[in-house]
Amino acid sequence: MNEDTKNLLKECTAGCQMALGSLDQIKHDITDHKLMAEKDSHQIAKLMMDGCNMGIQSVSEYQNQYRNASKEALELAQKLVRAEEDFMEEMKQFL
């Protein structure tokens, strides 16, 4: 495994861990069935979307920085970007 592959995978892992930490912090709020009606859902959605946007930018930057990473690592990074884009799209309904 070359250094670019290791570095790209390390950064993707760090981003996923950050996302999981964010979700863990708000999980008590998102399990409330009345969340969609509460004004807090707006703020939570904004925070989650901001996090996704930062993740998309970071991973995209790392894809460019570590261009010599393996094809599999680059594809994995792209899947992560798509997942964050999809999650952002889902959050729009709460704004």
* Residue 51 Cα to chain centre, angstroms: 6
pLDDT at residue 62 in the model: 97
Calculate the dihedral angle through the C-alpha atoms of 85, 86, 87, 88, rounding to the nearest 10 degrees: 50
- Quick one: the chain helix, strand, coil %, rounded to 5? 85, 0, 15
pLDDT at residue 27 in the model: 77
Q: Within a 10 A sphere around the Cβ of 76, how many other Cβ atoms?
A: 16
Q: Which domain range does residue 8 map to?
A: 3-94
Has residue 37 got a pLDDT over 60? no
pLDDT at residue 36 in the model: 52
